[in-house]
Structure 1
């Protein structure tokens, strides 16, 4: 009898909700507030694809009512277009706007979309360059670039492993604190980029809220998984560090790939070398927790791939299927994962030192933390564009 009563009390509020929605739809009490004003309309440009004599735009609607695209202007002139699908765009719907337009290489172009209510939405193509197409040559070039800015510097940092094995407790504390410092920098950098990209996403995704929720979810899930066997140490901790760095590099790869596709940036030799120098300490940070063990050679290769490999995947996705909300989500997850690693490395440092919280105020720890942050900040000047 008790279970039946509980079921009734569970279904009763749901039934009231259904009745309320049915009354709202049929009675339409909101019609009394209709003063003739047009519905709220919003349109976000998510992708731009430039090919020979063509401009294709992926747009997402975010208005209160279905919206109809009536006209398209390019550089101030009305232009014929094809919308796929052709139906009015409901809230959250996407459509491709396809134009046959002779864009000029290296020039800026402005596209303006006009709806049937007269609302206008402007999208600027800052530098017109052909969008990369999916072929073997493009994938190979992007793989080489991603490996050079992601895998190579991590591998170089891991190569310091034999030279660091003989350091004492003070040196170990310095390296672990340096790892915390570089991770804190990466976390702040990833969070800032995530919020910036969230501002470019369609309002329907609630970008900034999404970033916070995704970061918190990643942190809590990884904390729960990482603590199943107690406080991680040794190879387990090194793997967590590599995972956090890899998720950050995935977001960075998405941003670099998107910049290439939009023509907003080009990487010269100096900039690629800057990325390499900037990321070398990541490999040293991964090596720090395993200095007291002797992993097999394949373990170092796996750690380098885990930390740097996602940069390749990010470049591929970013150049071919970029959208700001997904890049923001990837960076947010990376920031949450890095925060979890910061907590674990700090806990491991206090446990290994034997003095607990007191160890955090020691000279090796403070200098290592400062060095990690300062090195990452200084080398970031080489790669920020």
Structure 2
């Protein structure tokens, strides 16, 4: 196994930089073209008369395609990110912090909306606030424990990468609820728009996850990459199931608040990663990276999804 891993690393190190940068975009384009050409998820309108088991299976397939696949595509940028100069690697980490900050604000807005729609908005809002604060504290405590365990390790970024994946995974729950809602009422066109929109959107989560491990001296095993992708994108399946069989505004608001608490703590962790080997965190390049992260998410979420796709 070790010679094979070394051969793979050698090949990636010798591959042209442009290939490492453009390759994931080519794969994403091919996936989107296949989606439009084949419409592989069947007839959503016909599913209104299908059994619960059939509906859940179809939602599971859609959710894996929209959640896990794009995150995996985004993670293919790891070899390119790993080869960056430390200054630029810090900028990528700052960019990931910008992505996470935008996601936290978006989830807060969605949580408020669900809480308002709950039968008892005051109860839902209070529960969401408590859930967010408790999650922030629990994730912080887990992170400190992890750092103590890895104090002498050269792979401290791996623990942060898992925290990033957990935070993004909780965000994916809301996407699953949205897709399931459109599917449940037989809106075929809206389902396809949501699938394509979230697929493109979720590709940005891949680099956000792997940026933390790019600074580690030892490349994680494929098991860790697979686990990170499943944790970040897999919960979209849970959101799809909840949207079909157990939807409630109270539950949705609470889950989103948990995600906000986790993501805010993860942003703190990403900043801590930069501090490990940088004289200061706030540089022009890092600030630009953070702004670009927020800007990319704003473009995808508020411009493309809201205006072009009408989502």
> Pick from 264, 278, 281: which aligns with 1:359?
281
| In structure 1, distance between residues paired with 2:185 and 2:124 | 21
Give the 5 Å matches for 1:1-385.
Answer: 130=48, 133-135=51-53, 137-203=54-120, 206-230=123-147, 233-262=156-185, 266-291=189-214, 292=216, 293-353=218-278, 355=279, 358-360=280-282, 362-380=283-301, 381-384=303-306, 385=311
Q: CA deviation at 1:162?
A: 1.3
Partner secondary structure for residue 52 of structure 2: coil
Q: CA deviation at 1:256?
A: 2.9
Structure with greater proportional helix content: 2
Q: In the TM superposition, what whole-angstrom CA distance separates every residue of 1:84-108 from its partner, at most 9, and x where no partner exists?
A: xxxxxxxxxxxxxxxxxxxxxxxxx
Q: CA deviation at 1:204?
A: 7.1
Q: In the TM superposition, what whole-angstrom CA distance separates every residue of 1:144-184 from its partner, at most 9, and x where no partner exists?
A: 21112211111011111112211111111111001100000
Q: CA deviation at 1:267?
A: 2.9
| In structure 2, distance between residues paired with 1:262 and 1:200 | 19
| In structure 1, distance between residues paired with 2:206 and 2:240 | 21
> What is the TM-score with the length of structure 1 in the denominator?
0.62
| In structure 2, distance between residues paired with 1:323 and 1:263 | 20
After TM superposition, which residue ranges in structure 1, 4 or more long, deviate above 4 angstroms?
262-266
Asked whether the equivalents of residues 251 and 334 of structure 1 are also in contact (C-alpha less than 8 Å), the reply is no
Structure (1 or 2) with the larger CA radius of gyration:
1
| In structure 2, distance between residues paired with 1:335 and 1:165 | 28
| In structure 1, distance between residues paired with 2:285 and 2:194 | 32
Q: CA deviation at 1:277?
A: 1.5
Q: CA deviation at 1:131?
A: 7.7
**Structure 1 vs Structure 2 CA RMSD:** 2.2
Asked whether the equivalents of residues 271 and 382 of structure 1 are also in contact (C-alpha less than 8 Å), the reply is no
| In structure 2, distance between residues paired with 1:260 and 1:269 | 10
| In structure 1, distance between residues paired with 2:188 and 2:141 | 39
> Residue 67 of structure 1 aligns with which residue?
none
Partner secondary structure for residue 382 of structure 1: helix
Q: In the TM superposition, what whole-angstrom CA distance separates every residue of 1:256-312 from its partner, at most 9, and x where no partner exists?
A: 323433568853544422211211121101111111321111211111000000001
Q: In the TM superposition, what whole-angstrom CA distance separates every residue of 1:304-323 from its partner, at most 9, and x where no partner exists?
A: 00000000111012112211
> What is the TM-score with the length of structure 2 in the denominator?
0.75
Question: Which runs of no fewer than 5 residues in structure 1 stay unpaired?
Answer: 1-128
| In structure 2, distance between residues paired with 1:364 and 1:328 | 36
What is the aligned length?
253
Question: Which runs of no fewer than 5 residues in structure 2 stay unpaired?
Answer: 1-46, 151-155
| In structure 2, distance between residues paired with 1:261 and 1:182 | 30
| In structure 2, distance between residues paired with 1:132 and 1:224 | 45
Q: CA deviation at 1:133?
A: 4.1
